Amino acid sequence: MTTPKEVTILLFAALIVSAPSVGMADEHSGRESLTGNLKVMTQNLYVGADLFQILNPDNPVPVNAAAIFGDIQATDFWQRAEAIANLIAERNPHLIGLQEVSLIRTQCPSDLVVDPTLGPNATSVYADYLQMLLEALNARGLHYEVAAIVTNADVELPVLNLGLLTSCGAPFFDARLTDSDVTLRRSDVDVTFSYSDNYTANFPVPTPAGPIEFIRGYNIVDVDINGRDYRFVNTHLEVNGNPFANFFQYAQAAELTQTLGFFAGIFGDRIVVTVGDFNSDPALGETQPCILPPFDGDPVPCDTPYTVMQEAGFIDTWTVRKAPPGDGFTCCQEGLLTNDDSLLDARFDYIWLRAPFGGSPVPDFLVTSQVRTVGDDQEDRTADWLWPSDHAGVFANMVIRQAR
């Protein structure tokens, strides 16, 4: 498999580097440069339940699905959307990358109980997380719009109705979860190009109802902010934890960096900011054991997503921040979000920055950066004392200089 580093080398000669038309003197090089301010944020919204409960072998699928649906009700995204909107309002970022943007639909009575082979077909909207968040932002006088959206997993299961869906009198209803990654732009940010897609390699989750491929994806958005061009990328990679899952996580990270290298060569390179939930803590090392296709051999070392991003030339902005101090932990609160003290003890969520190939490196390139976690203080919690999400978000306010 070609590594991101090899792709970078192969594409280097073909990259198109755009030069700013106005600027000021770069005191380090004598070249002209243009300095711009960029504020971005990433936030995993959290569906509101541990979806791996569906794998509980002690119960049939409808009972496990009922436990998940009940947890989603208990973690009440209506409240959490208000809390997340407050976090955004305090910082007013130009661009926001959202993960686990859920659309939950129901069908009563269940038709999956009768025919388990039916695909997702529920249409009655129970909860639209994107719409709820946009309404909460609008209520605060903030004007954000969808710049890009990618639909990922789309799964429907029968649910034992133990009073969970009061509008349904049947013993079973179907619940459909559609997962998306969404990039929001502030209304004064101009989008010049957008592209979203799903990863080629996606983890097949074994369930009592049969394997479910949990599809993941990414957004790529080119924007103009005050005459400055940026490429903003948002993604949510597969979880790690065993050599089989680790391979899919590695493959997705490698595909993302190779895709960005391809875009740089074909559509012109620019400053690239990549945000999202990478499910990869740098404290665990540079490699992890992976079982490679056809998945019948022994585990071999493969790069973690964190390493893949570094090898592709990306800077972890947390590591070069000027302020404030902190450990940068973003994962994870207790599943029902009611834990008294924050339980965050791992770094999974990142804001990565990459100069155009041939551009000025740090410190000339990144003049200053204030990077902080958000949603992890007690005052950020909801009226019912729920944490906004099981993940903290990350916000960065960066001053970037690009030499001509």
- Percentage of residues of the chain with pLDDT beyond 90: 80
> Prior bond to 363 cis, omega within 30?
yes
The string of pLDDT tens digits covering residues 225-277 is 988 999 999 999 999 989 999 999 999 999 999 999 999 999 999 999 999 99
The string of pLDDT tens digits covering residues 99-156 is 999 999 999 999 999 998 898 999 999 999 999 999 999 999 999 999 999 999 999 9
Q: Find the mean pLDDT for residues 382-390.
A: 97
What pLDDT score was predicted for residue 25? 36
Q: Which residues of 237-260 are buried (b: 16+ CB within 10 A; e: fewer)?
A: bbbbeebebbbbbbbbbbbbbbbb
What are 236's two structure tokens? 């949510």
What pLDDT score was predicted for residue 208? 65
Q: What is the rounded distance in angstroms from the CA atom of residue 237 to the CA atom of residue 234?
A: 10
The string of pLDDT tens digits covering residues 279-338 is 999 999 999 999 999 999 999 999 999 999 999 999 999 999 988 888 999 999 999 999
Q: What is the phi/psi pair of residue 270, to 5°?
A: -160, 180
Q: What is the rounded distance in angstroms from the CA atom of residue 238 to the CA atom of residue 230?
A: 26
- Percentage of residues of the chain with pLDDT beyond 70: 88
Map out the domains of the chain as residue ranges.
Answer: 4-403
What are 181's two structure tokens? 């990654």
Q: What topology does CATH give the domain 4-403?
A: Deoxyribonuclease I; Chain A (3.60.10)
79: β partners:
none
The model's pTM: 0.90
